[in-house]
Structures are given as structure tokens and as C-alpha cells.
Amino acid sequence: MINKRIVTFTFLIILTTIVTSCVNCSRSARSKLRNTDENHQIHNTNREKKEVKKQTVNNLPSLFQKLQKSVFMIYGVDSHNEIIQGSGFVIDKSGICITNYHVLKNLNKCKIKLYDGKTYHITEIIQASNQEALDYVIFKINTTFNHSLEISKQNSQIGDDVFAIGSPRGLENTLTKGAISQFRNNKYIQIDATIDHGSSGGPLFNMKGEVIGITTSGIEGSDLNFAIDISKVPIKNIFREKKEKLNITFDNHTSTTGQIIHHSFYTLSYVEKYEQPEWVAYKLIPQYLVKKVERRNRFKIDRAVKTGSATLTDYKGSGYDRGHLAPAGAMSFSSVAMEDSFYMSNMSPQVPGFNRGIWKSLESKVRYWTSSSDSLYVVSGPILKNISKTIGENKVGVPNYYYKVIVKFKNNKTQACAFLLPNKKSNKKLNDYLCTIDEIEELSGIDFNVNFPNSLENELEKKYDFF
């Protein structure tokens, strides 16, 4: 009797389970029927994504051919004549480019070599961040382009495929491919795409061909390589500032000789007849006031001067100082800038009491004005007229007067002033030597600020503001 009850009870449980399973099966079937269209849509969407990804990968050769035109190799020698090489790329058709700060930091006489073999040089340093910060420098070169790289506006993710173009060990425009493996310190993109010596400063792309980073370093013997997140670099601000402050360069003045020489942080127009420049132009921004290197009195011949520059022996025993026109005191933010400031092409014979007195005071005043401005553009030079005295074997002319032309930018406002000082010791105040830019132009025969709109140029040059 007990066994029959057990059997009956067991049968009921099994029957109930079967019925329940059938009901669930039916519900599942109905649910599947309802979701058939949706499943097909999801399947199709995933298939489309795979096809797009496949198409992007297959398109990499044509992407490379297009993008490599805006990537270049940077090369030169440091102060010890050791070859340094890196990469960089174009971010604006006007000739604005970007690379790592550490690539340019110790470079001397650097050149920019494009994919077609043409070489150019840097005419202006627009903004720099030291290696401890974001390790980038934005600069302008002496050409324009009909192409530039597009900066990505979207956030990247771990696992995204990426590729880089650079010149590892001098092998120009080499493509490497990998994926994002992590993000570090809110500024670095960790990748497994190879970054070797010479690749630093090149672009890191997403698979759309948009720049997402600046390749910067790698750990040898591993797949751990890094790029600076391009979204952390204030590129938009720089373009906005340049638009607001006019697109001026160091070539903003006429040259009576046509021998214009570009160094990393200043440009000059050289006059062979008097073995010195008629003008030296440089830019100052508040960031440049942070002293990073000490003065080094390493005066040297400037081999960029085709006719040959003055020499140290020209000044030896002359009784005149080798007076800086682009001052060493304004170049202490960079070892390259400091080294370049001691080219003999940047020197002019100055009376010691003048060079170490009122001229030095004016240089300090200019740096003081820089601290309260967005930027200053400065042109210094001698008045190369009515010169009766020369020094040295190369007959370096001794000027009677020196000038400084200064244009200040602050909050969309532009001001200008000029100084004309006699080459002798003076106890007068700087205000006593204030004059208009027009007066300097008349004395020197040089037209300053030629790239300014005529109305602005005329307004700035006929009056002066003591900042």
C-alpha cells in the first residue's frame, strides 16, 4: 500500500514537470518567434560592424599613402656634434607642426625632411611643454601645405586598433600597427605598436586615420610603448590665439641684403659689409621666463652665414663687448636657445658701459613686460649708417646707435613701442629713449611688421605705448 502511494506520487511529480516544461517550452518558442526580427537585426548590425572593421583594415595601405605626406623626419646634431633624430607631423596647412619636446630640446641646426625628400627649417616656436609635463612642442616651418592631419574628436578605448607612422632609426615613414592596451596617468596611451629610436614625435592614428596621440617612448625588449594623448595638448587654444593675435612670424620685416638666417628661437638678417645683423627677431611668452639653464659663454662662428660670420678674434683686444641682440638672458628656458644665442651672427660691437648698463636694463624691462602679456615680439639691431670705425680682420662695423622694436599682445589688444639708444654709457632713464617705429624705419631703411594689415601697421608705428 505504501509502495503504491509512492509510485502514484512520483508519477504526479513527473507529469507536473513535463507539463511545466512544455509550458515553458511554448513560452520560449513564442518569445523566439517574437524576437526573430530583432535577432536578425542584431546579427546584421554585428556583421556590418565586422565588415566596416575589415574594410578599414583593408584600407590601411591607401590611408598610409595619404597620411605619410604630413609626417616628416627631424634631424640635426647636438652641442657635442652627436646626431639626433626624431619624427613630427603637420597639424595645420599654414605650416604648423608638432613633435616631442625631447626631440628638439638639444637639437642644433635641425632640419625637417618630408616624404618627398624636400627639407625645411623651423621659423617659430609657438608653444612648448617640458618632458615632465606633456613632452610636446608646436612650431612653424618655412613652407605651407595643401594637406594636414586631422585630430580625432572621439575618445579611444582599450582594445582599439591603432597604427603609427615614424622614422625609427632613420628609416623614414615606417608604419607599425597594434592596439591600445591601457591608459596611464591621464595623459599616456599604452600601445603594443612598435616605437623605436627615431619614431618619437610621430603620429598615432585610430583606424579612421585620425590622430589620437604623439608617439613618445617605449621599453626596450617589450611591447610596452607609449604615446601622449593628443586630447591633452591645447591645440585648439593655440589656433584660436594665433587667429586673435595675427599670423606673424620672425620674417615679419624686410631685409636689405636678402640673407635671412633662421635659428630655433630667433631669426636674423645678416649684413656682410659690416659682419653683423641689421635685425634679430625673437618671440617671448611668459613660459619662457622660467630659467632652466645657466648662461654659457660659448661664442662660435655661425656657419649658416654663407659669406662667413665675424669671429672671436675680431673682437679680441678691441675694447668692445660682443653684445647680444637676441639676449642670452631671454634664452635660459632651453639649452638649444641658449647655445644658439652665442652665434657670432647675433653679436654687435658695443661699448662695455652701454652693453652692461642701459642696454642690459632694457633687456630686463622687456622680460618684465613679457610676464604681463600673452606674448611679445621683439626686434633688436644696430643702425648701420654713418659707420666710420671697424674692428678686427673682418672689419666689423661699430654702430653709433642701437634700437629695439617691441609689439605686445594682451587680451586681443596690440601695443607697440621702440627705443633708440646711442652706443655709449648712459645714466638716463629708458623713457628718454622712447620713439616711434616709424622713426626707426626711417633711420634703418627697414620696414617692420610688413605682414600686419596696413591699418594696424600704420596705427602701431606712428605712436608708442610705454607698457
Identify the helix (H) or strand (E) that includes residue 15: helix 2-58
**Which residues fall within 8 angstroms of residue 240, CB to CB, at 6 or more apart?**
none
- For the cut 50, the answer to whether the pLDDT of residue 246 exceeds it is no
* Residue 324: active-site member: yes
The pLDDT of 357-376, averaged and rounded, is 95
Per-residue pLDDT tens digits for 408-464: 998 888 999 999 999 999 999 999 999 999 999 999 999 987 667 777 888 888 888
Strand ranges in 61-173 using DSSP code E only, listed in sequence order: 71-77, 83-92, 96-99, 108-113, 119-120, 122-129, 136-141, 161-166
d(CA 209, CA 151): 9
The amino acid sitting at 126 is I
User: Which of 167-181, 193-207, 240-254, 437-451 bottoms out in mean pLDDT, i.e. has the lowest?
Assistant: 240-254
Q: Which residue is catalytic, options 102, 253, 262, 324?
A: 324
**pLDDT band of 249, cuts 50, 70, 90:** low
Q: Rounded to the nearest 5°, which phi and psi values hold at 376?
A: -125, 140
d(CA 430, CA 407): 17
Q: For 253-276, give the secondary structure using H, E and C.
A: CCCCCCCEEECCCEEEEEEHHHCE
- Beta-bridged to residue 434, according to DSSP, are 419
Contact 402, 329 (CB under 8 A): no
Q: Is the pTM of this model over 0.75?
A: no
Identify the helix (H) or strand (E) that includes residue 417: strand 413-422
Per-residue pLDDT tens digits for 75-92: 988 767 788 899 999 999
Closest CA to 349 of 385, 312, 398, 422: 398
Contact 161, 179 (CB under 8 A): yes
Q: What share of the chain in percent tops pLDDT 90?
A: 54
Q: Which domains does the chain have, with CATH numbers?
A: 60-232 (2.40.10.120), 245-461 (3.40.570.10)
Parallel/antiparallel/unpaired status of strands 71-77 and 108-113 = antiparallel
**pLDDT band of 247, cuts 50, 70, 90:** very low
